[in-house]
Amino acid sequence: MTAIIILNWNGADDTISCLNSFSSVTGNFFIVVTDNGSNDDSTDRIKKYIDKSPLKIYLQELKSNYGFAKGNNMAISFALKFCPDNFLLLNNDTEVTPSFLKNLIDFSTNNSNYRVLTPQIRLYNSKDKIWNCGGSIIFGMRCYYFANKKIDSIPKTKKFLNISFITGCALFFYSDVLSNDGKLFTERFFFGEEDFEFSLRMKRKKIDMACVFNSVIYHKVGSAASKMDYFGKLYLHYLNRFINIRLNSNGFKFKFWRLVNMPFVLKHFYYNTKSISKTLSLWKKLKEDSIKKDRVSKDDFKSLVINKDYF
Protein backbone atom coordinates (compact mmCIF):
# COMPACT_ATOMS: atom_id res chain seq x y z
CA MET A 1 0.00 0.00 0.00
CA THR A 2 1.21 3.50 -0.87
CA ALA A 3 0.88 6.46 1.47
CA ILE A 4 0.03 9.54 -0.60
CA ILE A 5 1.05 12.68 1.30
CA ILE A 6 -0.41 16.06 0.39
CA LEU A 7 0.59 19.20 2.29
CA ASN A 8 -1.99 21.99 2.45
CA TRP A 9 -1.55 25.60 3.49
CA ASN A 10 -4.45 27.95 2.73
CA GLY A 11 -5.03 26.02 -0.49
CA ALA A 12 -8.29 24.11 -0.14
CA ASP A 13 -9.32 24.71 -3.78
CA ASP A 14 -6.16 23.09 -5.13
CA THR A 15 -6.12 20.35 -2.49
CA ILE A 16 -9.72 19.31 -3.15
CA SER A 17 -9.11 19.29 -6.91
CA CYS A 18 -6.07 17.09 -6.32
CA LEU A 19 -8.11 14.71 -4.15
CA ASN A 20 -10.85 14.61 -6.78
CA SER A 21 -8.34 13.43 -9.37
CA PHE A 22 -7.72 10.29 -7.27
CA SER A 23 -11.31 9.10 -7.72
CA SER A 24 -10.35 6.97 -10.73
CA VAL A 25 -6.76 6.07 -9.76
CA THR A 26 -5.82 2.40 -9.95
CA GLY A 27 -3.86 0.99 -7.04
CA ASN A 28 -3.79 0.29 -3.34
CA PHE A 29 -3.29 3.56 -1.47
CA PHE A 30 -4.43 5.86 1.29
CA ILE A 31 -4.06 9.62 1.48
CA VAL A 32 -2.76 11.80 4.29
CA VAL A 33 -3.67 15.47 3.94
CA THR A 34 -1.51 17.44 6.36
CA ASP A 35 -2.73 20.97 6.99
CA ASN A 36 0.31 23.13 7.71
CA GLY A 37 -1.34 25.59 10.11
CA SER A 38 -3.74 27.22 7.62
CA ASN A 39 -5.31 30.46 8.79
CA ASP A 40 -8.31 30.30 6.45
CA ASP A 41 -11.23 27.86 6.20
CA SER A 42 -9.12 25.12 4.56
CA THR A 43 -9.52 22.48 7.25
CA ASP A 44 -13.30 22.88 7.46
CA ARG A 45 -13.66 22.54 3.71
CA ILE A 46 -11.30 19.56 3.49
CA LYS A 47 -13.10 17.83 6.38
CA LYS A 48 -16.42 18.22 4.55
CA TYR A 49 -14.86 16.76 1.41
CA ILE A 50 -13.39 13.79 3.30
CA ASP A 51 -16.75 13.04 4.95
CA LYS A 52 -18.33 12.59 1.52
CA SER A 53 -15.42 10.90 -0.24
CA PRO A 54 -15.19 7.12 -0.77
CA LEU A 55 -11.39 7.41 -0.66
CA LYS A 56 -9.40 6.52 2.44
CA ILE A 57 -8.22 9.96 3.53
CA TYR A 58 -6.76 11.04 6.87
CA LEU A 59 -6.48 14.69 7.89
CA GLN A 60 -3.56 15.72 10.08
CA GLU A 61 -3.86 19.23 11.50
CA LEU A 62 -0.65 21.00 12.50
CA LYS A 63 -0.84 23.95 14.88
CA SER A 64 1.60 26.12 12.97
CA ASN A 65 3.07 26.56 9.51
CA TYR A 66 6.26 24.51 9.81
CA GLY A 67 7.34 24.99 6.20
CA PHE A 68 7.48 22.47 3.38
CA ALA A 69 10.28 20.27 4.70
CA LYS A 70 9.18 19.89 8.32
CA GLY A 71 5.50 19.69 7.35
CA ASN A 72 6.21 16.75 5.04
CA ASN A 73 8.47 15.10 7.62
CA MET A 74 5.64 15.29 10.16
CA ALA A 75 3.22 13.87 7.59
CA ILE A 76 5.57 10.94 6.90
CA SER A 77 5.81 10.26 10.64
CA PHE A 78 2.00 10.19 10.80
CA ALA A 79 1.72 7.89 7.77
CA LEU A 80 4.28 5.44 9.17
CA LYS A 81 1.71 4.41 11.80
CA PHE A 82 -0.21 2.63 9.02
CA CYS A 83 2.86 0.65 7.85
CA PRO A 84 2.76 1.56 4.14
CA ASP A 85 5.00 -0.22 1.64
CA ASN A 86 6.09 3.06 0.07
CA PHE A 87 5.29 6.77 -0.03
CA LEU A 88 4.50 9.49 -2.53
CA LEU A 89 4.82 13.18 -1.71
CA LEU A 90 2.54 15.20 -3.96
CA ASN A 91 2.07 18.95 -4.25
CA ASN A 92 -1.49 19.99 -3.56
CA ASP A 93 -1.53 21.94 -6.86
CA THR A 94 -1.23 18.77 -8.93
CA GLU A 95 -3.77 16.49 -10.56
CA VAL A 96 -3.06 12.86 -11.39
CA THR A 97 -3.99 10.44 -14.16
CA PRO A 98 -5.74 7.08 -13.49
CA SER A 99 -2.72 4.84 -14.13
CA PHE A 100 0.06 7.05 -12.74
CA LEU A 101 0.44 5.14 -9.46
CA LYS A 102 0.10 1.67 -11.00
CA ASN A 103 2.81 2.52 -13.50
CA LEU A 104 5.15 3.71 -10.75
CA ILE A 105 4.54 0.54 -8.74
CA ASP A 106 4.96 -1.72 -11.80
CA PHE A 107 8.27 -0.08 -12.65
CA SER A 108 9.42 -0.31 -9.05
CA THR A 109 8.48 -3.99 -8.82
CA ASN A 110 10.56 -4.79 -11.90
CA ASN A 111 13.44 -2.45 -11.01
CA SER A 112 13.84 -2.75 -7.26
CA ASN A 113 17.25 -1.03 -7.24
CA TYR A 114 15.49 2.31 -7.86
CA ARG A 115 14.42 3.55 -4.42
CA VAL A 116 13.25 7.01 -5.52
CA LEU A 117 11.02 7.74 -8.51
CA THR A 118 9.14 10.61 -10.09
CA PRO A 119 6.40 10.59 -12.72
CA GLN A 120 6.54 12.65 -15.89
CA ILE A 121 5.24 16.03 -14.70
CA ARG A 122 3.32 18.01 -17.30
CA LEU A 123 2.04 21.57 -17.11
CA TYR A 124 -1.60 21.75 -16.05
CA ASN A 125 -2.35 24.83 -18.14
CA SER A 126 -0.48 23.52 -21.20
CA LYS A 127 -1.13 19.82 -21.08
CA ASP A 128 0.95 19.05 -24.16
CA LYS A 129 4.07 20.50 -22.50
CA ILE A 130 6.35 19.06 -19.83
CA TRP A 131 7.29 20.82 -16.61
CA ASN A 132 10.07 18.33 -15.91
CA CYS A 133 11.09 14.69 -15.89
CA GLY A 134 13.46 15.03 -12.99
CA GLY A 135 16.88 16.38 -13.77
CA SER A 136 20.56 16.38 -12.99
CA ILE A 137 22.90 18.20 -10.62
CA ILE A 138 26.03 19.50 -12.29
CA PHE A 139 28.55 21.50 -10.25
CA GLY A 140 25.95 22.58 -7.72
CA MET A 141 23.39 23.60 -10.32
CA ARG A 142 20.06 21.99 -11.20
CA CYS A 143 19.15 21.12 -14.76
CA TYR A 144 15.64 19.87 -15.54
CA TYR A 145 15.11 17.21 -18.20
CA PHE A 146 12.62 18.03 -21.00
CA ALA A 147 11.56 21.31 -19.31
CA ASN A 148 8.95 23.12 -21.44
CA LYS A 149 9.33 20.57 -24.23
CA LYS A 150 6.36 19.09 -26.08
CA ILE A 151 5.27 15.71 -24.76
CA ASP A 152 6.19 14.03 -28.04
CA SER A 153 9.85 14.84 -27.29
CA ILE A 154 9.90 11.92 -24.83
CA PRO A 155 11.76 9.03 -26.52
CA LYS A 156 9.28 6.35 -27.60
CA THR A 157 11.85 3.61 -27.11
CA LYS A 158 12.67 4.44 -23.49
CA LYS A 159 10.53 3.62 -20.47
CA PHE A 160 12.50 5.62 -17.91
CA LEU A 161 15.36 8.03 -17.40
CA ASN A 162 18.08 7.93 -14.75
CA ILE A 163 18.09 11.18 -12.79
CA SER A 164 20.19 12.80 -10.06
CA PHE A 165 17.73 15.58 -9.19
CA ILE A 166 14.10 15.21 -8.15
CA THR A 167 11.58 17.84 -7.09
CA GLY A 168 9.41 17.62 -4.01
CA CYS A 169 6.40 18.11 -6.27
CA ALA A 170 6.02 14.36 -6.90
CA LEU A 171 8.48 12.16 -5.03
CA PHE A 172 7.91 8.40 -4.71
CA PHE A 173 10.22 6.64 -2.26
CA TYR A 174 10.79 3.74 0.11
CA SER A 175 11.38 4.14 3.83
CA ASP A 176 14.97 2.92 3.53
CA VAL A 177 15.98 6.31 2.11
CA LEU A 178 14.85 8.11 5.27
CA SER A 179 17.54 9.46 7.58
CA ASN A 180 18.25 7.70 10.86
CA ASP A 181 15.86 10.11 12.58
CA GLY A 182 13.05 9.08 10.22
CA LYS A 183 13.10 12.30 8.20
CA LEU A 184 13.12 12.66 4.43
CA PHE A 185 14.12 16.31 4.20
CA THR A 186 16.57 18.51 6.05
CA GLU A 187 14.77 21.14 8.12
CA ARG A 188 17.51 23.75 7.70
CA PHE A 189 15.45 25.55 5.05
CA PHE A 190 11.96 26.81 5.85
CA PHE A 191 11.08 27.24 2.17
CA GLY A 192 12.92 25.83 -0.82
CA GLU A 193 16.16 23.88 -1.29
CA GLU A 194 14.97 20.79 0.59
CA ASP A 195 14.66 18.76 -2.63
CA PHE A 196 18.09 19.93 -3.82
CA GLU A 197 19.69 18.85 -0.53
CA PHE A 198 17.79 15.55 -0.69
CA SER A 199 19.04 14.94 -4.24
CA LEU A 200 22.63 15.72 -3.22
CA ARG A 201 22.29 13.25 -0.37
CA MET A 202 20.88 10.51 -2.60
CA LYS A 203 23.71 11.10 -5.08
CA ARG A 204 26.30 10.91 -2.32
CA LYS A 205 24.77 7.66 -1.03
CA LYS A 206 24.59 6.25 -4.59
CA ILE A 207 20.84 5.65 -4.35
CA ASP A 208 19.31 5.14 -7.81
CA MET A 209 16.55 7.52 -8.90
CA ALA A 210 14.49 7.56 -12.10
CA CYS A 211 11.68 9.29 -13.95
CA VAL A 212 9.04 6.81 -15.15
CA PHE A 213 7.75 8.12 -18.47
CA ASN A 214 4.37 6.37 -18.58
CA SER A 215 3.39 7.72 -15.16
CA VAL A 216 1.90 11.16 -15.78
CA ILE A 217 0.63 13.96 -13.55
CA TYR A 218 -0.16 17.64 -14.13
CA HIS A 219 1.21 20.55 -12.12
CA LYS A 220 -0.26 24.05 -11.82
CA VAL A 221 3.23 25.36 -10.87
CA GLY A 222 3.86 27.88 -8.14
CA SER A 223 0.45 28.52 -6.57
CA ALA A 224 2.04 29.39 -3.21
CA ALA A 225 5.23 30.96 -4.56
CA SER A 226 3.30 33.36 -6.80
CA LYS A 227 2.07 35.19 -3.66
CA MET A 228 5.62 36.00 -2.51
CA ASP A 229 7.74 39.08 -3.15
CA TYR A 230 9.83 38.28 -6.21
CA PHE A 231 13.10 39.89 -5.13
CA GLY A 232 12.89 38.43 -1.64
CA LYS A 233 12.28 35.02 -3.19
CA LEU A 234 15.33 35.49 -5.44
CA TYR A 235 17.62 36.34 -2.51
CA LEU A 236 16.13 33.46 -0.52
CA HIS A 237 16.92 31.05 -3.37
CA TYR A 238 20.57 32.10 -3.50
CA LEU A 239 20.95 32.14 0.28
CA ASN A 240 19.52 28.62 0.53
CA ARG A 241 21.75 27.34 -2.27
CA PHE A 242 24.94 28.98 -0.99
CA ILE A 243 24.43 27.54 2.50
CA ASN A 244 23.58 24.13 1.09
CA ILE A 245 26.66 23.97 -1.15
CA ARG A 246 28.90 25.21 1.68
CA LEU A 247 27.63 22.49 4.02
CA ASN A 248 28.03 19.79 1.37
CA SER A 249 31.53 20.62 0.13
CA ASN A 250 34.96 21.58 1.43
CA GLY A 251 36.06 25.19 1.79
CA PHE A 252 38.05 25.41 -1.45
CA LYS A 253 35.32 23.81 -3.55
CA PHE A 254 32.70 26.16 -2.08
CA LYS A 255 34.80 29.27 -2.75
CA PHE A 256 35.46 28.15 -6.33
CA TRP A 257 31.76 27.37 -6.87
CA ARG A 258 30.81 30.79 -5.46
CA LEU A 259 33.29 32.51 -7.76
CA VAL A 260 31.93 30.72 -10.83
CA ASN A 261 28.34 31.63 -9.88
CA MET A 262 29.12 35.24 -9.05
CA PRO A 263 28.30 36.61 -12.55
CA PHE A 264 24.86 34.97 -12.57
CA VAL A 265 24.00 36.30 -9.12
CA LEU A 266 25.21 39.81 -9.91
CA LYS A 267 23.24 39.78 -13.15
CA HIS A 268 20.02 38.83 -11.35
CA PHE A 269 20.56 41.38 -8.59
CA TYR A 270 21.32 44.17 -11.07
CA TYR A 271 18.31 43.28 -13.21
CA ASN A 272 16.12 43.85 -10.15
CA THR A 273 17.86 46.88 -8.62
CA LYS A 274 19.24 48.73 -11.69
CA SER A 275 22.00 49.93 -9.37
CA ILE A 276 25.64 48.81 -9.36
CA SER A 277 26.22 49.94 -5.77
CA LYS A 278 23.07 48.18 -4.55
CA THR A 279 24.02 45.04 -6.47
CA LEU A 280 27.50 44.93 -4.93
CA SER A 281 26.05 45.58 -1.47
CA LEU A 282 23.65 42.65 -1.91
CA TRP A 283 26.48 40.39 -3.09
CA LYS A 284 28.49 41.30 0.03
CA LYS A 285 25.44 40.62 2.20
CA LEU A 286 24.88 37.24 0.53
CA LYS A 287 28.52 36.23 1.06
CA GLU A 288 28.32 37.17 4.74
CA ASP A 289 24.94 35.49 5.34
CA SER A 290 25.97 32.28 3.60
CA ILE A 291 29.03 31.96 5.86
CA LYS A 292 27.52 32.86 9.23
CA LYS A 293 24.17 31.07 8.80
CA ASP A 294 23.67 27.30 8.92
CA ARG A 295 19.93 27.50 8.22
CA VAL A 296 17.29 29.83 6.79
CA SER A 297 14.55 30.09 9.36
CA LYS A 298 10.86 30.90 9.22
CA ASP A 299 11.69 34.39 10.51
CA ASP A 300 14.21 34.87 7.68
CA PHE A 301 11.60 33.68 5.19
CA LYS A 302 8.93 36.06 6.51
CA SER A 303 11.37 38.97 6.59
CA LEU A 304 12.45 38.36 2.98
CA VAL A 305 9.23 37.53 1.11
CA ILE A 306 6.37 38.82 3.26
CA ASN A 307 7.44 41.74 5.48
CA LYS A 308 10.27 42.76 3.12
CA ASP A 309 12.37 44.17 5.99
CA TYR A 310 15.33 41.76 5.81
CA PHE A 311 17.87 44.27 4.50
Residues in the chain: 311
Q: Is a pLDDT exceeding 80 seen at residue 124?
A: yes
Binned at pLDDT 50, 70 and 90, residue 225 comes out as: low
Q: What confidence tens digit (pLDDT) does each residue in 276-311 have?
A: 999 999 999 999 999 999 999 999 999 999 999 998
- Non-local (6+) Cβ contacts of 27 within 8 A are 2, 101, 102, 105
Q: What is the pLDDT of residue 227?
A: 60
Residue 42 CA from chain centroid, whole number = 21
Q: Is a pLDDT exceeding 70 seen at residue 53?
A: yes
H helix and E strand count, the chain: 9, 12
**Sign for the pseudo-dihedral over CA of 130, 131, 135, 139:** positive
Q: Is a pLDDT exceeding 70 seen at residue 57?
A: yes
Core vs surface per residue 224-239: b (16+ CB within 10 A) or e = beeebeebbbbbbebb
Core vs surface per residue 103-115: b (16+ CB within 10 A) or e = bbbebbeeeeebb
Binned at pLDDT 50, 70 and 90, residue 224 comes out as: low
Query: How many CA atoms within 13 Å lie on the side-chain side of 57?
Result: 24
Q: Is a pLDDT exceeding 80 seen at residue 158?
A: yes
Instruction: Give CA separation, 81 vs 32, 78, 183, 285, in Å.
Output: 11, 6, 14, 44
Least confident of 30-44, 45-59, 224-238: 224-238
At CB < 8 A and 24+ separation, what contacts does 198-204 make? 198/166, 198/168, 199/137, 199/164, 199/165, 199/166, 200/137, 200/244, 200/248, 202/116, 202/164, 202/166, 202/177, 203/137, 203/164, 204/248
Of 253, 249, 239, the closest CA to residue 292 belongs to 239
Q: Is a pLDDT exceeding 90 seen at residue 206?
A: yes
Residues 255, 269: contact at Cβ < 8 Å?
no
How are beta strands 57-62 and 2-8 bridged, if at all? unpaired
Pairwise CA distance, residues 220 & 18, whole Å:
11
What does the mean pLDDT of the chain come to?
A: 95
Residues 132, 191: contact at Cβ < 8 Å?
no
Q: Is a pLDDT exceeding 90 seen at residue 228?
A: no
Q: What is the pLDDT of residue 194?
A: 96
Pairwise CA distance, residues 6 & 170, whole Å:
10
